[in-house]
Amino acid sequence: MSTIEKLRPHHIVCMHGFIGEGYDHIFTENMGNTIKNILSNNLLEVVFHWDNICSKCPNLNNKGFCKSEKKVRSLDQKTIELLELKEQIYNYNELKETLKRELTLEKLEYICSECSWYQEGICKKTIFTNLL
């Protein structure tokens, strides 16, 4: 049995916008593998700190914080509000259904407008398609 992946709240949204690109090859490969594991297990554990995706991000400093900690905490808090998340294990398909039901373009902008990936237009093009 494979490990249950740990995800910080905003990465639940991000994983649906992932197109196989990232900061570097190590980050991209890790994010792709994390998503594959979630899809195959149908489980994920929500954590309110750095997670499996952060672990290979070049923005994670040696103290376990993101160089943009204030921004990512804001992204997390907005996602927590939208999905009413707690630190616990979730059935991925149930969480995906909640995201499909609750996420609108306006809410996506509210959550993600500070993020460079959103600002580049990647997320708006892919998230809603990938939630189908």
| pLDDT, tens only, 114-131 | 988 888 888 887 898 888
Provide the number of structural domains found in the chain. Answer: 1
pTM above 0.75, yes or no: yes
Query: What residues have CB less than 8 Å from 49, skipping those under 6 apart?
Result: 8, 64
45 is a domain residue: yes
1 is a domain residue: no
Model confidence at 1, pLDDT cuts 50, 70, 90, reads low
103 is a domain residue: yes
Query: What residues have CB less than 8 Å from 115, skipping those under 6 apart?
Result: 71, 75, 123
Torsion over CA of 103, 106, 110 and 115, rounded to 10 degrees? Answer: 90
How far apart, in whole angstroms, are the C-alpha atoms of residue 94 and residue 123?
A: 21
* Residue 50 structural domain: 6-130
77 is a domain residue: yes
22 is a domain residue: yes
29 is a domain residue: yes
